[in-house]
């Protein structure tokens, strides 16, 4: 095989890197093979080996690619921002939310290499250099803003730089979990609000979108369940069990949910209908905390999700799922697992739209006792 045309050579390498990004997002690093990459790229395994002599070489090129892409995005944003340190700091944050740089696949790549970097000096070097460079830039700009206002005694620049880095890291994690549905405008508001609270002489507090944050005006309000909610929650739980062809048993539903709340052995979120005259529960989700031995981390199992039949297709299920995701992120868990009936097409569509991926590698077994 020969490629004397440099343009074709570069195009093929770029195609393989893009296929690697897709493959990492779909399979993770541990299950990644050149065969999977070549299949996604639509090329033969021999073609892959011609352009990259090993899988490790291709992985390093992929990590370099996303790192350099981020560097270029920040450099371009800084160039457009001009010399003002406040504008430059805002530009870095905005670049960190660029849809092309932070698309879901690339967030999965960052997360995968972060997880593997502890035992790999080459991964650490590339990832660490980017983090150090970005933090140094943010710290320098914070120092300039503070010095210009003579606030050195009141504000610690390093603490603020650490907080900004932490916020952007959490945003990247949220993009990873939410997928393409992630609201970057909302994330920008969060970042701008933080900057305005620390540097009010440079930034203005953004206007809040009351339609999405005010429980009095939003059609759906999500809360964590307590014993005060037991009566309405038990009714929903009984309907949920009937959906899966169990006999109606409100007493059993009441007893089970009461025990879960009292023992704190599950976490339950309830969706309330703000458009009804009285407080009415219209849906719920229940999660159980457990662990993944392979990943050596905490995970959550989203076991139940139910919305009243009169309120379906109105975003209630999505609101409950997003609240569950926020809780899981705050707890430091690595993922959320769930399962649903094979013929529950509507639920499958919701899960996949929110970034959940169907397991195609493992069978589920149960032992009735």
CATH of the domain at 111: 1.10.357.10
Residue 365, in any domain of the structure: no
Query: What domain count does the chain have?
Result: 3
89 within 8 A of 148, measured Cβ to Cβ: no
CA 4 to chain centre: 42
What was the pLDDT predicted at 212?
Answer: 43
User: How many Å from the N-terminal Cα to the C-terminal Cα in the chain?
Assistant: 60
- Average pLDDT, integer, range 315-319: 88
CA dihedral 261, 328, 168, 213 (to 10 degrees): -50
Does some domain include residue 360? Answer: no
Among 83-87, 92-96, 187-191, 204-208, the least confident range: 204-208
pTM summary value:
0.54
Domain range holding 23?
6-53
Q: Token match 């992630």: residue?
A: 182
Looking at the fold, whether 157 and 184 belong to one and the same domain comes out as: yes
> What does the pLDDT look like over 7-19, one tens digit per residue?
777 888 889 999 9
Check whether residue 125 and residue 30 sit in a common domain: no
At 338 the three-state DSSP class reads: strand
Instruction: Single out the residue in 158, 173, 207 at which a domain terminates.
Output: 207
User: Which tens digits make up the pLDDT trace of 103-126?
Assistant: 878 888 887 887 676 667 777 777
CATH number at residue 14: 1.10.10.60
List, for residues 162-186, the tens digit of each pLDDT value: 999 888 888 887 777 666 667 777 7
Reply yes or no on whether the pLDDT at 277 is more than 70. no
Task: Answer yes or no: do 151 and 126 share one domain.
Answer: yes
**Which of 208, 60, 87 lies closest to 141, judged by CA?**
87
pLDDT digits (tens, 9 = 90+) for 130-146: 788 889 999 999 999 99
Please tell me the distance from the alpha carbon of residue 65 to that of residue 52, in angstroms, as a whole number. Answer: 14
Ranges 25-34, 144-153, 226-235: which has the least confidence: 25-34
């Amino acid at each position: 095989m020969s490629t004397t045309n440099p343009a074709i050579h570069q195009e093929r390498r770029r195609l393989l890197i893009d296929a690697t990004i897709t493959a990492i997002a779909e399979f993770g690093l541990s299950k990644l093979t050149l065969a999977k990459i070549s299949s996604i790229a639509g090329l033969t395994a021999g073609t892959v080996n011609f352009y990259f002599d090993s899988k490790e070489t291709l992985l390093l090129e992929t990590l370099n690619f996303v790192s350099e892409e981020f560097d270029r995005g920040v450099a371009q944003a800084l160039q457009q921002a001009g010399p003002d340190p406040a504008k430059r700091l805002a530009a870095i944050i905005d670049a960190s939310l660029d849809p092309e740089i932070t698309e879901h696949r690339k967030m999965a790549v960052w997360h995968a290499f972060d997880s593997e970097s502890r035992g790999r000096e080459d991964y650490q070097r590339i990832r660490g250099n980017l983090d150090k460079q970005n933090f140094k830039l943010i710290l320098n700009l914070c120092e300039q803003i503070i010095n210009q206002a003579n606030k050195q005694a009141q504000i610690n620049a390093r603490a603020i730089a650490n907080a900004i880095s932490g916020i952007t890291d959490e945003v990247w994690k949220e993009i990873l979990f939410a997928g393409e549905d992630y609201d970057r405008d909302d994330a920008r508001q969060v970042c701008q609000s933080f900057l305005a609270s620390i540097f009010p002489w440079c930034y203005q507090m953004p206007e809040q979108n009351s339609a999405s944050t005010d429980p009095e005006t939003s059609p759906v309000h999500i809360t964590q369940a307590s014993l005060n909610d037991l009566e309405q929650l038990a009714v929903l739980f009984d309907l949920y069990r009937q959906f899966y062809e169990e006999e109606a048993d409100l007493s059993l539903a009441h007893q089970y949910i009461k025990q879960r709340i009292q023992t704190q052995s599950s976490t339950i979120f309830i969706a309330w209908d703000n458009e009804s005259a009285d407080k009415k529960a219209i849906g719920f989700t229940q999660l159980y905390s457990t662990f993944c031995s392979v990943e050596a981390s905490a995970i959550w199992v989203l076991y139940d999700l139910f919305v009243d039949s009169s309120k379906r297709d109105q975003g209630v299920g999505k609101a409950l799922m997003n609240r569950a995701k926020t809780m899981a992120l705050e707890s430091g868990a690595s993922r959320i697992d769930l399962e649903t009936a094979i013929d529950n097409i509507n639920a499958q569509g919701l899960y996949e739209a929110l970034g959940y991926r169907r397991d195609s590698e493992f069978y589920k077994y149960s032992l009735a006792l």
